[in-house]
Amino acid sequence: MLRERRLAGLLNRLRPLGRFRTSGYPRVLLGMVDDKGHDSAPGNGDRNGNGDRIARVVDFFEQNPELAAELQRVVPVEASPLFERDDVTETLCVAMHDKGVELAGRSFHVRAHLRGLKGRQETTAVEGALGEFLLERAEAGGRAATVTFSDPDVVVAVEVAGRRAGYAFFEREQRALPLLWKA
């Protein structure tokens, strides 16, 4: 009962940031950050268009440090497609078909957290397949990308909860921000 009240209070305090709900997985909330008060015109923010959302999240938690202290990490995803079958990799490849060009000439790696796929998908297999796919797409976009696990230019974060597969491209500077990135 105490846990449910604490969770309800947390969801209520997150309301100014956007719409959030429980995910069915322990300590995992899902939500949509509102764009209120932020210029979302093309060209503003970072390469992947996720910069305005990230800026809003960072501003919110800087203004609410007591709330930030209750959270382990926040991953603002660029998209969260629904997948029908057990093959989350196929769904993500379709969703990221045009994203490889953002990695052209840059270093990156994929980091995935899979919830709800136990025994059906292995994290390393999903990470490897997506990495290969993005390498191919980067090369098709003009310049080859490289995979590195030592301070890459970009980390492609994949978060799966049930039948939702969210992803975000985190630049080096964004990963240095409190709460935004913990591998």
Per residue in 61-90, pLDDT (tens digit) is 889 888 888 887 788 888 788 887 667 889
Domain ranges of the chain: 2-68, 88-175
Segment holding 108, helix H or strand E: strand 107-115
Q: For residues 107 and 131, give the distance between their C-alpha atoms in angstroms, rounded to a whole number.
A: 11
Q: DSSP readout, 141-175?
A: TTS--EE-SSS-SEEEEEEEETTEEEEEEEEHHHH
CATH topology (fold) of 88-175: THUMP fold (3.30.2300)
Residue range 4-15, pLDDT digits in tens: 787 888 899 999
Write out pLDDT tens, residues 15-54: 998 888 888 887 788 888 876 644 443 333 444 455 677 7
**End-to-end CA distance of the chain, in Å?**
31
